[in-house]
């Protein structure tokens, strides 16, 4: 891509930001029309602002993808186009969810620091416009070019934002004495459970992008193995979404099965990905050994030494898992050519 093309993309991104601001402000003002509202809490501006900003951010990503990648599928077989389009749909949902939860979390924090502040319809509309502009600019950029490492960072950020918001709105302030699943119980359960569902979609999408990267590196000869890599990551995402779809207070058995399956499938997907990719590279091996040792130490500290609760152990396991995934996709980024690689096979399953 030459300098002129990059400048054209930047110009488009600026116009997209302006349009997102105007759209967010107009829609937000109309939705919030009436009496002034507080920043957070019941009857506040937070939920309408979050919904409008989420929709605008998703629309910005769709438009950007259409403008910047519409010719990418021309030489691809049908199955490859379907996978790419499905990933784009999943990302549209994820960007809407990340934006909405980010706005809700910011509203809760501002509500504590700005107690007593109320916003009229136009003021709330301008806030909506600012949130829409920031999110729209970021998602427009994602439509121009998105790498697997970006998705892993998005997954990490989304889980952090969703969990923090769930903590702030938890029905039981002492939920941490049991485990993270307690955040999915009570009046505000939709926050944590919804976070897990969208995180599951993101995990499956990360798997699809890992498959794309492996295909760019290894070509059609490795498609048989790459398919199983994508299948395992997709299954991991489905299991993670199942943790949110089957809350502990409603269906304990299915909730526990989904939680255990997520862990097992994550390990299986990671092992298979490592064996399929070239190498495996030294940084990934070092990270794998380090994470494994830290996991052993963490389990001993929780079980044998009773140093911390199950909730802390869960946080350590999730954090180390995301650390390993981040290393995996960053190593893949080093190995992967930055150009699309259309497959010469008309069928995914038959060469």
What's the predicted TM-score (pTM) here? 0.87
Instruction: Name the residue ranges covered by the structural domains of the chain.
Output: 1-146
Rg (CA), the chain: 22
Dihedral sign, Cα of residue 303, residue 309, residue 313, residue 314: positive
Q: Which residues contact 194 (CB under 8 A, 6 or more apart)?
A: 97, 162, 244
- 135 near 57, Cβ under 8 Å? yes
CA–CA distances in Å: residue 162 to residues 9, 39, 138, 176, 190: 31, 19, 19, 16, 10
Residue 77: the pLDDT is 84
Region for residue 343 given its phi and psi (left: phi exceeds 0; alpha: psi -120 to 50; beta: otherwise): beta
Residue 2: the pLDDT is 67
Residue 242: the pLDDT is 94
Question: Smallest Cα–Cα separation from 30: which of 13, 60, 51?
Answer: 51
Residue 67: the pLDDT is 85
- 158 near 205, Cβ under 8 Å? no
Residue 103: the pLDDT is 93
Q: Beta strand 118-119 with 37-38: parallel, antiparallel or unpaired?
A: antiparallel
**Regions of the chain where pLDDT drops below 50:** none
Alpha helical stretches, state H, the chain: 3-31, 46-69, 78-113, 121-144, 148-168, 189-218, 223-245, 252-276, 282-303, 310-335
Residue 351: the pLDDT is 55
Residue 261: the pLDDT is 95
Residue 324: the pLDDT is 93
- 90 near 205, Cβ under 8 Å? yes
């Amino acid at each position: 891509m030459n300098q002129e093309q990059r400048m054209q993309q930047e110009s488009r991104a600026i116009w997209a930001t302006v349009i997102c601001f105007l759209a967010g402000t107009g829609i937000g003002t109309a939705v919030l029309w009436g009496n002034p509202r507080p920043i957070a809490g019941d009857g506040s501006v937070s939920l309408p602002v979050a919904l409008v900003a989420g929709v605008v951010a998703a629309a910005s990503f769709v438009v950007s993808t259409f403008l910047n990648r519409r010719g990418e599928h021309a030489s691809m077989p049908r199955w490859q186009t379907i996978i790419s389009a499905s990933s784009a749909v999943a990302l549209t949902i994820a960007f809407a969810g990340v934006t909405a939860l980010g706005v809700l979390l910011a509203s809760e924090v501002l509500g504590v620091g700005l107690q007593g502040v109320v916003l009229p319809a136009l003021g709330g509309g301008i806030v909506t416009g600012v949130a829409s502009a920031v999110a729209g600019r970021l998602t427009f950029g994602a439509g121009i070019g998105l790498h697997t490492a970006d998705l892993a960072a998005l997954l990490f950020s989304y889980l952090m934002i969703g969990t923090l918001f769930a903590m702030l709105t938890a029905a039981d302030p002492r939920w941490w004495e049991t485990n993270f699943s307690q955040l999915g119980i009570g009046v505000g359960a939709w926050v944590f459970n919804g976070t897990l569902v969208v995180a599951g979609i993101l995990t499956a999408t990360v798997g699809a992008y890992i498959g794309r990267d492996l295909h760019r590196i290894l070509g059609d000869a490795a498609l048989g193995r790459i398919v199983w890599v994508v299948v395992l990551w997709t299954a991991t995402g489905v299991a993670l979404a199942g943790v949110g779809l089957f809350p502990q207070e409603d269906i304990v058995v299915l909730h526990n099965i989904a939680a255990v399956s997520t862990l097992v499938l994550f390990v299986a997907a990671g092992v298979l990905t490592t064996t399929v990719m070239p190498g495996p590279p030294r940084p990934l091996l070092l990270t794998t050994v380090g994470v494994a040792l830290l996991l052993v130490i963490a389990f001993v500290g929780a079980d044998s030494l009773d140093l911390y609760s199950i909730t802390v152990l869960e946080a350590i396991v999730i954090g180390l898992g995301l650390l390993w995934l981040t290393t995996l996709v960053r190593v893949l980024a080093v190995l992967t050519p930055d150009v699309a690689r259309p497959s010469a096979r008309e069928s995914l399953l038959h060469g």
